[in-house]
Amino acid sequence: MDRNELYIKGPQRMQGELLIQGSKNAALPILAATILGEGIFILHHCPKISDVEHMLELLVDAGCRAYWEGHMLIVDTRELRNYRVKGDGAGKMRSTVTLLGSILGRMHQVEIPYPGGCTIGKRPIDLHLRGLEQLGAVFEHQEHTLVGKAAILHGASVYLDFPSVGATENVLLAAVLAEGSTVIHGAAMEPEIVELASFLRKMGAKILGEGTPVISIEGVKRLHAAEYIVPSDRIVAGTYLFGALMTRGEVRLLHVPLAHLGNLPGVLEQMGAVVEAKEDWIYVRMDHQCRPIPYLVTAPFPGFPTDLQSALMAALSTASGISFIEEKIFEARFQVVEELQKMGASITSEESFALIDGDARLRGAKVEAKELRGGAALIMAALAAEGETCIQGMEYVCRGYEDINEDLKKLGIKKRCGEQGCCPKTAFTEETHVRTGNNEEVS
C-alpha cells in the first residue's frame, strides 16, 4: 500500500468528542508576522501540519531558529538577516506570499519564488502587490521570482477591490512598521484577520477595526516578541460536522470559537441537524437523512466559506432532494465533483455552479484527492459509502489536517492506512525538534 493512501470501509457512524487542532489559516500569517519583531516568540496550540513545516523552512532560510516542545512552537528571529527566500517550501503553499509584507516591513526588500499551493484556480496576487505599492513598495517580476523594494514604507489609504484575506494580511503586516497612518478599505473580515491583528497588537502594533471592512493602523518604530495561543481550526471543525450529518452521527467539538463559524450552524440546522453551541464548543446530532439546500453561495466571512464547499457538496449528495451551489471565491473549486461521481454521487457542474441531485447511494471506489479541502470531503464521503474506499493523494490533506487518522479514531471511525501511514508527521516525529539557519536539525 502507498503511504499516501487511506482506506475506509463504510458505512460508519461518526460519534464522539474531539478537541480541534490549531488553525492553519491563523498560524501561517502569525508565523509570517514573527519576522517583524526581534526576539523569541512562543506559539501555543500551533498545528503540526505540512504547511506549517514549509513555513518554518522559509523562516529558517531567512535566518530564524525554530523548535517544538509538544504543541508549543518557539521561533527565534534575532538572527534574521536574509531577505531572499529560496526554501523548497516556497513553491508548495500559497501562504508564501504573506512573507512579502513582513519581510518588506523589517528589511525593506524581499525576494520570494512565486507561491504554490492547491490547484483551485488562478488566485492572482495583484491585489497584494497593488496594496503594498500604495505603501511605497516597488516590485519587479523576474523568472520564477518576485523582487520587491521599499526604501521607506509610508502610511496610505488602501482600497481593496475584493476583501481578499491574503491581501489584507500583507498590507496589515507591512503597515505596522510604516511611517504614519494606514487605512485599509474593503478589508477581509475573516477570523484569521482578527487573530493576526490581535497577535500584532501583542507585539506592540497599533491597530483598530479588525473584523470590520475598515482597518486603521498607526505605524510604530519597533515591535517585540510575544506569546500567543493559536485558535482552533474552524474549517477542520466544519469538515467533521458535515461528516456527522452524512453518517447520521453525533459529535461534540471542543475549543471551537463559535464566533469563527459564521453562518455554518444555521446551514447545519437547515439540513436537519440538531445543533447546540456555546462560546467555545459545538454539538451536532443527525437522526435522519440530510435535507437539501435549494441555493447556497460561497462568500467572504461571515458568509459560507469556500473551504467548506467541497464537504458540503459531499453531504448534499446524500440529501433527500436537489441542491444548488454557486462558488464565488475560486473558479476551480469543483475538482472534487469527478471523484464524488466515481462514488455514485449525482452532481452536474459548470463553471461556478453545481447542481446536486441527492438520494445518492454512495459506494466505495478508488478516488484521488487533488487539493486539500476536496481530499477531506472525499474522506467524509467514504464514511457514508457502502464498501471500501481508497483515497489517494493524502499528502494534500496533510497540508491542513494534523492527524486525521487519530481524529477519525476518536470519533469512532475504523480505517487502515498505507504501509507507513497516510499522514506522515515529517519533522514532527519527535517531541522536540530544532531547526537552525545552518540547516542543522537537533532532536
CA distance 364 to 372: 20
CA angle 365, 392, 387 (to 5 degrees): 25
Q: Give the strand pairing for 138-142 and 145-149.
A: antiparallel
Total residues found in the chain within this entry: 443
Give yes or no for a contact between 111 and 83, defined as CB atoms under 8 angstroms apart.
yes
Give yes or no for a contact between 230 and 47, defined as CB atoms under 8 angstroms apart.
yes
Q: Is 118 a catalytic residue?
A: yes
User: Looking at 118, 290, 417, 422, which residue is catalytic?
Assistant: 118
Give yes or no for a contact between 128 and 97, defined as CB atoms under 8 angstroms apart.
yes
Taking residue 411's Cβ as centre, other Cβ atoms within 10 Å add up to: 23
CA angle 291, 341, 376 (to 5 degrees): 75
Taking residue 343's Cβ as centre, other Cβ atoms within 10 Å add up to: 25
CA distance 139 to 419: 46
Residues pairing with 435 in the sheet:
66, 441
CA distance 48 to 117: 17
CB-neighbour burial class of residue 70 (10 A; exposed 0-12, middle 13-18, buried 19+): exposed
CB-neighbour burial class of residue 276 (10 A; exposed 0-12, middle 13-18, buried 19+): exposed
Long-range contacts of 201-205 (CB under 8 A, 24+ apart): 202/226, 202/227, 202/228, 203/33, 203/36, 203/37, 203/176, 204/37, 205/176
> In which residue are the cell numbers 447520521 written?
248
Would you please indicate which residues are annotated as catalytic (active-site) residues? 118
